[in-house]
Each structure stands twice: as C-alpha cells, then as structure tokens.
Amino acid sequence: MRLPRKSTAALGIAASAAVLFLVPTSAHAAQIVGCSENALVAAVNAANAVGGDDLVLSPFCTYNLTAAHGTGDNGPSGLPAITTPITMTGLGTDIVRAPGAPDFRILEVDGAASNPETSGSLSLNAVTLRGGQAATGDDGGGVANYGGTVTLNGSTLRDNSADNGGGLYNEAGTTTLIAGAVVGNTATTAGGGIFTSSGAVRLFGTLVRSNSPDNCVPPGSVPFCNG
C-alpha cells in the first residue's frame, strides 16, 4: 500500500521548524534562489565555483527540471553534480523531473572517496525530490552519492526510479536521513528505496516504505530498514 502524499507532506512540514536550526552558518549571506529551473541550476553552479555555499530555496515552490544539467561517467542528472559543500534549505519545496523530460536522476553528489578532485557534501533541508528517472542502466533516481557526504533533514525521496537505488544509491560515501521519508520509489534490478553498494546509510526517524521491489538492499545494510 502506498503512503498517502499528505502523510509525508505533513511529516516534512512538521520537521521544517526543527530543520532550520540545523542549517550551517557561513561567513557570507546565504543565496536566495528564485522559483525557476534556471535560477536553481545557476545557483548550484555558482556554489560549486566558489567552493560551496548555502542556498535558500523558495518556500512551497516546485522546481520543474526539463533537461539534464549535469553529465558525467555516472549518467545524466537534473542538477549539476554537487562537488563542494552545499546546503539547500526549503519549506514545502519540491525538485521534480518534469513530465515528458528526458531520463535523468535528480541529484548526484561526488566526493573525495570516489574522486579525489571533488569534495561533494550535500545537506538537504525540508525538500522533496520526486520523479527522477535515471537513464537506462544508471543508478540512483533521486540521489546518487558517489563518495560524498549527504544529509537529508526532514526531506522526502518519492516516486523516483533507477536500475539500482530508485530513491537513493550510495557508493563509498555516507548518507544520513533524519525525520524524512523514502516512499514509492522503484528499481529495475534492486533497491527500490535504497541501494548501498559501499559506504554507509543511516536512518534516524525516517520512514522507508512502499518501494518496489524492495526497500533496502543488501539486506541488513541499512539499520532499522526492512527489506
């Protein structure tokens, strides 16, 4: 049985107030991102260029991604690959692969454990990633973490798909999910919700349910997640 959208929406909004206290304070003002695909892509590119930044997304905005803006050995992604420490904070904010768009995952994080030339670290606060469709044979429909550090606070991975790891694919990196949800994601091969190739995935008060063909693989790789 699929979890009603209202349930996870309420979960994310209820966590939002607490999440805002987790946003790191940088030496410069956070960047305010207007509610458009171009604005979000430009903000991620600019953050990577300066070695990382805090991005404040538009509340209750749906960022519709119509094309892949990140390409590389791991396949296309809707947003440029995260290669530096970046925080994105929203409030009831969605980042979505637009209907009819080419196949691409939503986000890729590249870190030193996989690529010494990168230092990708993503903190995602009160944001839903949905509708990602990794290209044929690619992994991680919502998020693909290759050797970086990913923290999802009060955030949801919903209705994403991939070969492995429909919601999340983790390889060599560390991913932590706090007070969020991984629901309704699918995989062609395994790990409809979460696929841990290597590294570590940790859950704290996060709901992982109604993913197909399974929630977390390999079995036992994610504590407190039933396969």
What is the Cα–Cα distance from 219 to 134, expressed in whole angstroms? 23
pLDDT score recorded for residue 29: 74
Burial 30-68 (b: 16+ CB within 10 A, else e): ebebeeebebbbbbbeebbeeebbbbbbbeebebbbeeb
Q: Which residues contact 7 (CB under 8 A, 6 or more apart)?
A: none
Q: Rounded to the nearest 5°, which phi and psi values hold at 55?
A: -115, 125
Residue recorded with tokens 């995935």 = 201
In the chain, domain spans = 5-217
Per-residue pLDDT reduced to its tens digit, 25-65: 444 678 899 999 999 999 999 999 999 999 999 999 999 99
Q: Rounded to the nearest 5°, which phi and psi values hold at 202?
A: -125, 140
pLDDT score recorded for residue 28: 60
In sequence order, which ranges of the chain are alpha helices (DSSP H)?
A: 5-20, 37-49
Name the residue type at position 24: P
Whole-prediction pTM value? 0.89
Share of the chain above pLDDT 90, in %: 84
The answer to whether residues 138 and 109 touch, using CB atoms and an 8 Å cutoff, is no
Residue ranges in the chain whose pLDDT is less than 50: 1-27
